[in-house]
Homo-oligomer: A and B are copies of this chain.
């Protein structure tokens, strides 16, 4: 009923996500958003309530697209754990750079900018982090079940290091560090998984 929208809400959220991602929450003004999304203030506020709510929508959108894609890439691969992990981590610090380098991870940027002050934001960033840890956990478990990892390896411990490394990598991508040293860090991080057990068959 009544007049239909002249804009696509999903496209708008996508644009908002890119803007917040690049500039952060405080440095992005409602007018910037209006220009980018091609929305007048009235439409923007009618649709998204306010800036903060739109930001939460952007965070959710990021998790549903970028984060979900990352999770998929990690889960789906049916190849040796070490290779999967290596390529996944390389992708994390490369793919965001489809001509779009230096953006880092929206979740990490948000988490450091807003800290723990904003509870709704905190819940979302923490949930995103937990998803990543869980994905790492299941990949390592798969590797162990396949006999690629020593049973001596404590998976939860390894997850903590890999996860922490990923956060560091995201920061380094954000500040424009070259891929080579990042690759070095990745290769070394994977080495903590220890050598592949020799087949006892």
Residues of A within 8 A of B (CB): 22, 24, 26-27, 102-104, 108-109, 111-113, 115-116, 122, 125-126, 129, 156-158, 160-161, 163-169, 171-172, 174-176, 181-182, 184-185, 187-189, 191-192
Contacts and interface: CB of A to CB of B under 8 A. Distances in A.
A112 B115 contact: no
Contacts of A175: 111-112, 115-116, 122, 125-126, 129
B161 A112 contact: no
Contacts of A158: 188
B157 A188 contact: yes
A196 B113 CA distance: 40
A103 B116 CA distance: 9
B161 A164 contact: no
Contact of A168 (B125, B167, B174): B167
A164 B160 contact: no
Contacts of A172: 164, 167
Contact of A113 (B24, B165, B166): B24
Nearest to A176: B116
Contact of A112 (B108, B129, B160, B191): B108
A165 B122 CA distance: 22
Nearest to A158: B188
Nearest to A156: B184
A175 B55 CA distance: 18
A156 to B, nearest CB: 8
